[in-house]
Structure 1
Amino acid sequence: MPLPAPVAPAVVLHEDEWLPRAQAHAERAARFAEPFVARRNARKKHPVEDFLFTYYTHKPGQLGRWHPGAGVALAGDGAAERLGWKHYRALTDAEREAAGVRERTPAVVLDAEGYVAEREETVRFSRVILSGTAQRPAQFGCFGLHEWAMAYHSEKFGIRHEYLPLRLGAEGTDRVVEESRIRCTHFDAFRFYTPDAAPRNELQPTRETQRHLEQPGCLHANMDLYKWAYKLGAAVPGELLMDCFELAQRIREMDMQASPYDLSDWGYSPIRIETPAGKAEYVELQRGFASEAAVLRERLTTAIAPLASLLP
């Protein structure tokens, strides 16, 4: 069976085009990364703004590194540095000639073939999650109860955020859990439930069933667009990575406002999901985030299409 043809760059950007984009990306990332690093050095915590750096594995320095994405070549002296970056290669003579890049001008592009050979499973799984989630109907009846389930019977198990008080106290928090229907579809939220809360969830998500349960109304599935963006690394344009990051940051804020924790000292007013008005507010915000996430999910799927075409 013949091997697929290499993916030639569809676009070549010169330094006056791509250096400003790289600089803008670095500044955009620094708005979030620098305060986090300063807090970490001072051994301080923030229940909202730290989350994307502590729960996810992408480091602040990595966030500031801009990539053009698959199929886009960079030309100019500044591009030479990227030959030392993982998954980049120099343009071939034929590619340089076709793109009109001068003979001595450095020019690099994502090594799509090498990338897929090394990260085939990442590409496959991300495509399954992205496409599968997009095709399922959104559910808007969870009301953020996953955070409450993580604090259920806190006097027995403790709470994840030990420096935050419970808005309704331990007994009030337990009562909300016991009087609610809990149907979380997201494994990476469910796995943090307390042992007494887990049986109360109508579903029992696992890593193996994740590809079948993820749905586009879920706040955590939509936050995880950031995870898929950074896991796909140099294959994803930096602007898309930051769009996913910033959406995840806003979702985290809403997620914690709807949680059982009292964040008034941090300047956040609660979304009282234990009341009808709070439930309505939660669903309205959740629907808005789902709409934004649907656009980003499609953009991610499009971004990795050149890699998908190389899968064996």
Structure 2
Amino acid sequence: MASIREVAKAAGVSVGSISRYLNGQQLKATNMEKIKKAIDDLGYQENIIAKGLKNNKSFSVGLLMNNISSRLSMDIVSSIEEVMENAGYSILLSGFEGSPERAVNKIDYLISHAVDGLIIFEADKSWPGMAKLANVKVPVISLNNPSDLPNVDTVLVDDRGSVRRLISHLIAQGHHHIGIITAPQSDYTARERLAGVHEAVRDHPDVKVSTFYGDYSRPSGFEGAQQLINRHIDALFVCNFNMSLGALEYCNRAGVRIDQDLSFSHFDYLDEMSNLISNRLVIQQPAKEIGGMCAERLLDRINHQAKDVGSTFIFDNLIVGLGDDQNAINKPKIITKS
């Protein structure tokens, strides 16, 4: 196997330049191209164990997810993994399935495996034991749940604002009885989405809202649509992708014509319904951008290159049907802690 000196000789650069390149530092573009070519031509492979001992790093990061099998989670994991692998890091992935106790135990498990950083997806800061993150010695990012701990960065999506805009649009179109299928209000994201509904109708006393509380499942979406449509709603908004599939299934079975008998709008992470419903309003979360930003921020903190530790980054959603700019969601708003 080629040595780092042989790579440096083939690329025509110093050993120090090779080392900086392997550690993710930026060099002149021409030098980076030469180094990459030399590494590929010589089949050079780093000794990760030796590198980790030298730099006091494990070159692994922990990723703790609420629901590993959800479509949004899979997209985010894929994006995080791509960035991390390009930087020479591996991922230890674990799930807690909505259990506060499991979440805290999994944090201990990941920390005990000497991860260099930690990303936690949808774990509530109020859960018993979560305060221990204040004393964790590695960088931490809380995804989809706010944190007020000074050493924890937060990455959020403005679901409340997106839902408010969508419901306001329905009201402007003349809808007066809007059905909402929402998720359990024990979750931060579910609370934010329903809050967006209430904010939109606050100044419209003539608009009635009927709410069905589902459980994120397709069957609960089916039942919710059945109950709400029987209450003679003229618009239906579903706060979750899986429940929207169930609601659509009920409409198909009951002969309810979307956009004729009923306005139908929903969250759709992968735009699965793009060929099924035309002229619809769909809220899409920028999963790829979220995952990429989380990974890049974590790497900056691991390499001591991050500014304003403890900041909050807020992405906008794309609302299909309202003429949103796809590029706008790639630039999160940044709120720094005072």
Between Structure 1 and Structure 2, which shows a larger proportion of strand residues?
2
TM above 0.5: no
Q: Report which of the two structures shows the higher radius of gyration computed on alpha carbons.
A: 2
Q: Which structure features the higher share of helix residues?
A: 1
TM-score of the superposed pair, with normalisation by structure 1: 0.25
TM-score normalised according to structure 2 size: 0.23
